[in-house]
Amino acid sequence: GAVVSQHPSRVICKSGTSVKIECRSLDFQATTMFWYRQFPKQSLMLMATSNEGSKATYEQGVEKDKFLINHASLTLSTLTVTSAHPEDSSFYICSARDRDQPQHFGDGTRLSIL
């Protein structure tokens, strides 16, 4: 079946650091990738949608300069949390989809900012 690999699975870093999270579709072409954020005991909140070769579309309230998304190829999207602060600590999950097929999710990245 379709596999999405997300790396790293856990990051702990100091406040002010920029952190990059990678999301790769291993056995299919991801025409669209999504980035979600999950707060404790909450559901997933969509942050942004990116189509390969295009700029990401951000949801209302998500700072595009804070959360940089790049979807340069059909198998890779990256989320960079710039100048991260403790309030950015969260569980980030990516998903990928080939055209109108269901989304497949990565295992998530737990980001902890000290």
60 lines the binding site for other proteins (CB under 8 A): no
Contact indicator for 80, 23 with CB cutoff of 8 Å: no
State which of positions 9-38 bind other proteins (CB under 8 A).
32, 34
The radius of gyration computed from the CA coordinates of the chain, to the nearest angstrom, equals 13
Among 40, 65, 86, 100, binds other proteins (CB under 8 A): 100
Count of residues engaged in binding other proteins, rule: CB under 8 A: 21
Cβ distance to other proteins smaller for residue 54 or 83: 54
Burial class (CB in 10 A: 0-12, 13-18, 19+), 52: middle
Which residue lies nearer to other proteins by CB, 44 or 74? 44
Give one DSSP letter per residue of 31-90, joined into a string. Answer: SEEEEEEE-TTS-EEEEEEEETTSPPEEPTT--TTTEEEEEEETTEEEEEETT--GGG-E
Residue 102 touches other proteins, criterion: CB under 8 A:
yes
- Segment contacting other proteins by CB under 8 A, of 13-21, 62-70, 73-81, 106-114: 106-114
Question: What residues line the site for other proteins (CB under 8 A)?
Answer: 4, 6, 32, 34, 42-44, 46, 49, 93, 95, 99-100, 102-108, 110
